[in-house]
């Protein structure tokens, strides 16, 4: 999971992209980067850490230009080395910088093809660098008679034919404009915003609508699956469907947890979807347990709050905020490493004893992935004096690896894999455990946007829409994840602490 943004403006975009990335910080806290262009040269700065830590005033001064892209990242493929931070750059053809949200399932095969067939060297273990070089190769082939919008769209069509997996892309072709496109299944989100100012029309493309609205842009529409968007340096927008076969299968985990509640993804307000999931969860609780002895319903802030409110409302129970959140600790789900996630839970949450003491408590969370956080939360409730702890998940059990850009790739890390609900309840220490049903989760979203007939819900139902994820593939992925990581040589630093070569002149 990453957050990406691209802007074509009439004024300098460096501060604008910085502010946009702050609005997308929830999508990745491992690294951040910005690349801009003044029409002749690319300028780039990136590194490990959150946006506010990566960029200083001196860095912002070195990012001139009215066109730019940015990314916030957490690692899915490859390591968390600073060398993996995006955007990535390639100097031919023309010069391209690119930022990617998603994960390619055939990137290793493509990396081999890059060397044997395309004669290109891939310098990192990032699938995004592979994607950039596939785009560069296809653009070189399609533009032998000169670069044009048609040749650009032709190249994107060939990229779709070669790539498998999920990808939402923003990129800049030097001296030409901004190119964005989305995979043929529309797994990862991407949307377009427009601002009509005194100097003309400006455009913004971002992972979530909250970034558009927060920067004063009007939401125009979502990028369609398989569609490419090109915006010239002068602000003229052109679009074309570049995939011969496309279908809408957005990632439903975006609505469960990843996206901000004030975003709208593919016609679905995230907040409304979470409320509706709470409605369905309440009905399952009503069917399966004696809920009348529950004293209070409590959410795990913040993403489960809408579902918990609806559960309490539907069941006629008291709603209380029993956990206080320290907002200066990152999201535990996207922290690299199990030990760090576990350590951060009690730094992140504190249980208020007055709300728990001698009460039967129904705790509602958005999902249960590894179970470590849930186990700590249940214990915190008991330590605060809860008499009975019932745990409810607004999402179904996560039983399968997600290979499309979310950091849950091995079955052994998933607490619900090959376990019954009762076994999971014992592991996390709850007296009872209730999961949302898969079909109810999907129905909750369809109730809001009936045009969405299906989703990528692979981590819940094991259905991998790209058709290339086999048991052998998953076994290989697990072995790679368990293998010891080779030491990484970081880029050398200059006297001012900046990585050398931060500015890329063409």
Strands 388-393 and 432-435: parallel
Number of helices and strands in the chain (H, E): 17, 23
Looking at residue 487, what is its pLDDT?
Answer: 44
331 pLDDT exceeds 70?
Answer: no
Strands (E), 306-371: 318-319, 323-325, 349-351, 360-365
221 pLDDT exceeds 50?
Answer: yes
Looking at residue 41, what is its pLDDT?
Answer: 95
Q: Rounded CA gap, 108 and 424, in Å?
A: 35
Looking at residue 314, what is its pLDDT?
Answer: 98
Both tokens of 23, joined, read: 């609005």
Which pLDDT band, with edges at 50, 70 and 90, does 325 fall under?
Answer: confident
Looking at residue 132, what is its pLDDT?
Answer: 97
How many other CB atoms are there within 10 angstroms of residue 26's CB atom? 21
Range in 39-48, 227-236, 495-504 with the lowest mean pLDDT? 495-504
Judge whether 415 and 369 are in contact, CB under 8 Å. Answer: yes
Q: State yes or no: 303 annotated in a binding site.
A: yes
Q: Rounded CA gap, 368 and 334, in Å?
A: 13
Q: pLDDT tens across 263-274, in order?
A: 999 999 999 999
Peptide bond into 72 cis (omega under 30): no
70 pLDDT exceeds 70?
Answer: yes
Global pTM exceeds 0.85: yes
Range in 159-173, 327-341, 363-377 with the lowest mean pLDDT? 327-341
Looking at residue 80, what is its pLDDT?
Answer: 62
Which residue has 């697990």 as its token pair? Answer: 478
Which pLDDT band, with edges at 50, 70 and 90, does 483 fall under?
Answer: low
CA distances from 355 to 350, 378, 383, 463 (A): 12, 14, 12, 41
Looking at residue 338, what is its pLDDT?
Answer: 54
Which pLDDT band, with edges at 50, 70 and 90, does 76 fall under?
Answer: low
Looking at residue 500, what is its pLDDT?
Answer: 30
Range in 107-111, 189-193, 205-209, 278-282 with the lowest mean pLDDT? 107-111
Looking at residue 498, what is its pLDDT?
Answer: 36
Looking at residue 490, what is its pLDDT?
Answer: 38
Q: pLDDT tens across 129-140, in order?
A: 999 999 999 999
Region 318-330: mean pLDDT is 85
φ/ψ (deg, to 5) at 103: -155, 130
Range in 5-9, 224-228, 280-284, 473-477 with the lowest mean pLDDT? 473-477
Q: pLDDT tens across 193-210, in order?
A: 999 999 999 999 999 999
Region 373-402: mean pLDDT is 96
Judge whether 33 and 85 are in contact, CB under 8 Å. Answer: yes
Q: Rounded CA gap, 144 and 93, in Å?
A: 10
Dihedral, CA of residue 440, residue 323, residue 368 and residue 31, to nearest 10: 110
Judge whether 374 and 391 are in contact, CB under 8 Å. Answer: yes
Q: How far is CA 313 from the centre of its chain?
A: 31
Q: State yes or no: 366 annotated in a binding site.
A: yes
How many other CB atoms are there within 10 angstroms of residue 161's CB atom? 12
Q: State yes or no: 344 annotated in a binding site.
A: no
506 pLDDT exceeds 60?
Answer: no
Q: Rounded CA gap, 211 and 248, in Å?
A: 22
Domain architecture of the chain: domains with CATH: 2-247 (3.60.20.10), 273-325+345-448 (3.40.50.2020)
Q: Rounded CA gap, 352 and 474, in Å?
A: 42
φ/ψ (deg, to 5) at 247: -155, 150
Report the residue count for the chain. Answer: 506
Element (DSSP H or E) covering residue 69: strand 67-73
CA nearest neighbour of 251 among 23, 434, 455: 455
Query: Is 459 one of the catalytic residues?
Result: no
DSSP state of 371: S
Which pLDDT band, with edges at 50, 70 and 90, does 329 fall under?
Answer: low
Looking at residue 152, what is its pLDDT?
Answer: 98
């Amino acid at each position: 999971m990453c957050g990406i943004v691209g802007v074509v403006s009439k004024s300098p975009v460096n501060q604008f992209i910085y502010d946009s990335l702050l609005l997308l910080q929830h999508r990745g806290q491992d690294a951040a980067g910005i690349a801009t262009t003044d029409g002749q040269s690319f300028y780039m700065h990136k590194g490990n850490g959150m946006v506010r830590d990566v960029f200083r005033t001196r860095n912002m001064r070195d990012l001139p230009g009215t066109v730019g892209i940015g990314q916030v990242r957490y690692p899915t493929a490859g390591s968390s080395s600073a060398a993996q931070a995006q955007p990535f750059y390639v100097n031919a053809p023309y010069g391209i910088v690119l930022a990617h949200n998603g994960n390619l399932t055939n990137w290793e095969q493509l990396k081999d093809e890059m060397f044997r067939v395309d004669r290109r060297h891939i310098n990192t273990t990032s699938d995004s660098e592979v994607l950039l070089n596939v785009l560069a190769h296809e653009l070189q082939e399609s533009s032998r008679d000169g670069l044009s919008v048609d040749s650009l769209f032709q190249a994107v069509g060939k990229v779709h034919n070669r790539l498998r997996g999920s990808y939402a892309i923003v990129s800049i072709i030097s001296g030409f404009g901004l190119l964005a496109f989305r995979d043929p299944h529309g797994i990862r989100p991407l949307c377009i915003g427009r601002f009509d100012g005194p100097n003309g029309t400006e455009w913004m493309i971002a992972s979530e609508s909250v970034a558009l609205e927060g920067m004063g842009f009007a939401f125009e529409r979502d990028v369609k699956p398989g569609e490419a968007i090109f915006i010239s340096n002068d602000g003229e927008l052109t679009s074309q469907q570049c995939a011969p076969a496309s279908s809408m299968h957005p990632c439903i985990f975006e609505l469960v947890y990843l996206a901000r509640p004030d975003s709208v993804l593919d016609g679905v307000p995230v907040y409304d979807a979470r409320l509706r999931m709470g409605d369905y969860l309440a009905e399952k609780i009503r069917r399966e347990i004696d809920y009348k002895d529950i004293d209070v319903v409590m959410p795990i802030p913040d993403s489960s709050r809408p579902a918990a409110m609806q559960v309490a409302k539907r069941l006629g129970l008291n709603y209380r905020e029993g956990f206080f959140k320290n907002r200066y600790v990152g999201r535990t789900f996207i922290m690299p490493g199990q030990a760090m996630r576990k350590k951060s839970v009690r730094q992140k949450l504190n249980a208020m004893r007055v709300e728990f003491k001698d009460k039967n408590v129904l705790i509602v969370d958005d999902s249960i992935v590894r179970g470590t956080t849930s186990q700590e939360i249940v214990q915190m409730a008991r330590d605060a004096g809860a008499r009975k702890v019932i745990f409810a998940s607004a999402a179904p059990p996560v039983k399968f690896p997600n290979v499309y850009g979310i950091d849950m790739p091995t079955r052994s890390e998933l607490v619900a894999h090959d376990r019954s609900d009762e076994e999971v309840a014992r592991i996390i220490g709850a007296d009872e455990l209730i999961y949302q049903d898969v079909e109810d989760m999907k129905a909750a979203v369809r109730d809001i946007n009936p045009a969405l007939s299906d989703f990528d819900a692979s981590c819940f139902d094991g259905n991998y829409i790209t058709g290339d994820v086999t048991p052998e593939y998953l076994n290989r992925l697990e072995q790679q994840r368990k293998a010891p990581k080779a030491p990484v040589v970081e880029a050398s630093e200059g006297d001012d602490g900046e990585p050398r070569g931060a500015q890329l002149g063409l």
